[in-house]
Amino acid sequence: SQAGPTLTRPQVPAVHQPVGDAPHHPLLLLTGAQAFFQRGFFLWVHKLSCPNCKRQLTGAVLYKTVRRVLDFSGWYHMGTEYLECGGCKKKYAAWAQGIMSQLDLAHQAQFPAVLTYKLSCDKRGVGMTKARTLGNSASSLRAALQEQHTVDWLLRFLRYLSVLNQLQLPGVAPQQVMVPPLRAVPNVPWLISVYAKEALGHLEETKARVMSVFGDILKMDSTKKASAINKEINKYYKWQTHTRDVLRFSFSDDQEARWRRCRDGGMGH
């Protein structure tokens, strides 16, 4: 059986909690403010078959491009490795579509982001664009992301200043504070393009769902038509039965009158 991918998600506090979140380690100031603004790193590693010759792929080196992923509270980074085929000698990034498509749906769903040309977006952020409520748009989503990013950045800056204040010596002038800048959230067209790309990945599933709903509608329509036909047939049978009863009753009355005339005529003679 194929081994599942080795995953580390950025929201796991035991692994990806920024070093600056530990307020009782003032020696971290030796590395500067960066220690308080660290973000998680997601490493996507798994080995499957070569899309070209179907041989087993082996890990080569780390992929040179590290993706910066937009999350709800900030940014995190994601990397992978090159997979090399021993037969055709081709190399593939582990998150290439030809590799990802070999995974089952459960493992594909564990991939955390939607990759674009330069930046990437976490799937949780993409999911926020799917709701169709009043006031929910790409513009409002961008404003909410920017606000949350600002709050997170200010909290980290406040923790950094708090530790600096604890280490400040009397009579010593405070040093100039240099902190990483707050990264801006991408524009609205980019958010819309990410949503469209994520939706395109579910195209076959959407087609199947539409066909299923369409089939149910056809079934309901045919059931209604059959019910209408049955009603018309029942009406016809009721009319036919009523007409037969009327004719039978009329014929019986006519027979009785003729019998009486015959009877009366016979008695007269």
Q: Which residues sit opposite 57 in a β-bridge?
A: 85
Mean pLDDT of 144-148: 92
pLDDT in tens, 168-207: 778 777 777 788 889 999 998 898 888 888 877 777 777 7
Residue 33 near residue 177, CB atoms below 8 Å:
yes
pLDDT in tens, 1-33: 444 444 444 443 323 333 334 444 544 544 577
- For residue 194, report the phi and psi dihedrals to the nearest 5 degrees: -65, -45
Mean confidence (pLDDT) of the chain: 73
DSSP per residue over 230-241, as a string?
Answer: HHHHHHHHHHHH
Residue 133 near residue 123, CB atoms below 8 Å:
no
* Residue 201 DSSP one-character state: T
Instruction: Let me know if 251 is exposed, middle or buried by CB neighbors in 10 A (0-12, 13-18, 19+).
Output: exposed
What's the pLDDT score for residue 111? 86
pLDDT in tens, 64-109: 888 889 998 889 888 888 888 878 888 888 888 888 888 888 888 8
**What's the chain's Rg over C-alpha atoms?**
38
Q: What is the pTM of this model?
A: 0.60
- Name 23's Cβ contacts closer than 8 Å, sequence gap at least 6: 159, 162, 163
Q: Which residue has the tokens 């994520």?
A: 198
Q: Taking each helix axis as running N to C, give the angle between helix 188-200 and helix 138-167, from 0 to 180 degrees, rounded to the nearest 10.
A: 110
State the distance between the two ends of the chain, measured CA to CA, in whole angstroms: 111
